[in-house]
Amino acid sequence: MTLMVQKYGGTSVANVEKIHHVARRVIRAKEAGNELVVVASAMAGETDRLIQLAHSASDDPMPREFDSLVSTGEQITVSLLAMVLNKLGHKAKSYLGYQVKVLTDGDYKKARILKIETSQIKEDLKKGYIVVVAGFQGVDKKNNINTLGRGGSDTSAVALAAALEADVCEIYTDVDGVYTTDPAIYDRARRMKKVSYDEMLEMASAGAKVLHPRSVELAKKYGVPVYVKSSFNDEGGTLVTKEDKDMEKEVVSGVTYDRDQAKITVIHVPDRPGVAARLFTPLSDENIPVDMIIQNASIEGYTDLTFTVSRKDIKQVRKLLEESGKDVGASGLQFDENIAKISIIGVGMRSHAGVASKMFATLAKEGINILMISTSEIKISCAIEAKYTELAVRVLHDAFGLEQER
């Protein structure tokens, strides 16, 4: 028998009617002879409502209480889904993080899963139950509720699939797969039938919102095949899986963009050891991720340091840098929130030369100035002025011929 983990996001379970729809899809898979473990998110809007409630109680809600509060969203969905499955004639049982149990590391609001106990779930599956598990939540070793951060239910699903050694993990969402770029921006975007873990990871980190990066990391680590499908129709789907020969033939698989970027320049800092550490340590201490970093050539012992952060962190970054910038003798700070990051991704880059220059030339031809560049083995990212985002996506998609099925 095939063991299948299915995950349904907030829009798929937005109300009781949609939960019925999900239940029927689950039952179809069960009746096709699969064992079913279903992970569900909070009903669309519910998590936002709970977060708002927390902020009306306190400007700075305690993380422990915040997690206990917002985790009720998934608790509501899973009990409703179990009720509906039961009503439709199928034995079902819902589990919360502590009931499974999903052991997490105690880092509130962005915890990592350490271990998942599977004995209870396996026992229920053997008895013919459909097991419904609350996504997004776990408990630390002192039984405090931890949440996994936004999109954490994807991670719950993949981690469960790994722990249960499931044959497949299906992620149901409101799009029918992973596209070469955002179809909302470019109508020539093409759904990929298959994408490698590494490409998916880079795409997720570079702004594609289909899967949570942590879930892709886990899927890669444990070799879990992940299907991204639409919960609203039966067409399409994208398989996220191990790299194969076919994938390498494509130089570039996708173009992504990320508008949630801000650029900061620390002007005229002394070019000597320890300066970068002095500037960036306060940011990492506050868990603020820094993305692209460039340093100008040094002139007369001085240089400028430019980097990007998520736009939401900009206030805090400004505060921290005003202090550390003074310490290192910088002459000033420059902030630019009108930027975007455009990335091209593909495992084929490893074996194909000239990809970067083709990207730069394509952007240059449209008069798009490149503000910063960063590269990884299978990704090239450029920071550009935000107003060129859509244009850049379209011309790069065309330049690398992504609309063609290969």
Smallest separation, CB 94 to a second copy (Å): 6
- Is 69 an interacting residue with respect to a second copy (CB under 8 A)? yes
Look at residue 234 and give its three-state secondary structure. coil
From the list 49-57, 104-112, 215-223, 313-321, the region that binds a second copy by CB under 8 A is 49-57
Smallest separation, CB 56 to a second copy (Å): 5
The sign of the dihedral angle between the CA atoms of 330, 332, 337, 338 is: negative
From the list 75-83, 209-217, 310-318, 339-347, the region that binds a second copy by CB under 8 A is 75-83
Residue 323's Cβ-count burial label (10 Å; 0-12, 13-18, 19+) is exposed
The sign of the dihedral angle between the CA atoms of 241, 246, 251, 253 is: negative
Number of residues interacting with a second copy: please give it, by CB under 8 A: 37
Residue 240: phi, psi to the nearest 5? -95, 120
Asked if residue 163 lies in contact with residue 171, where contact means CB atoms within 8 angstroms, the answer is no
Smallest separation, CB 288 to a second copy (Å): 24
Residue 275: phi, psi to the nearest 5? -70, -50
- For 402, other C-beta atoms within 10 Å of its C-beta total 26
Q: Which of residues 98-137 bind a second copy (CB under 8 A)?
A: 98-99
What count of Cα atoms within 13 Å lies in the side-chain half-sphere of residue 96? 17
Smallest separation, CB 83 to a second copy (Å): 4
- Is 86 an interacting residue with respect to a second copy (CB under 8 A)? yes
Smallest separation, CB 171 to a second copy (Å): 24
- Cα(237)–Cα(176) distance, integer angstroms: 5
- Is 143 an interacting residue with respect to a second copy (CB under 8 A)? yes
- Is 96 an interacting residue with respect to a second copy (CB under 8 A)? yes
Name 52's Cβ contacts closer than 8 Å, sequence gap at least 6: none
Task: Return the number of the residue (59 or 377) whose C-beta is nearest a second copy.
Answer: 59
- For 13, other C-beta atoms within 10 Å of its C-beta total 28
Of 50, 267, 276, 293, which lies in the binding site for a second copy, with binding defined by CB under 8 A?
50
From the list 96-104, 179-187, 189-197, 351-359, the region that binds a second copy by CB under 8 A is 96-104
Smallest separation, CB 44 to a second copy (Å): 15
Q: Which residues bind a second copy (CB under 8 A)?
A: 16, 19, 50, 53-54, 56-62, 64-66, 68-69, 71-72, 75-76, 78-80, 82-84, 86-87, 93-94, 96, 98-99, 143-145
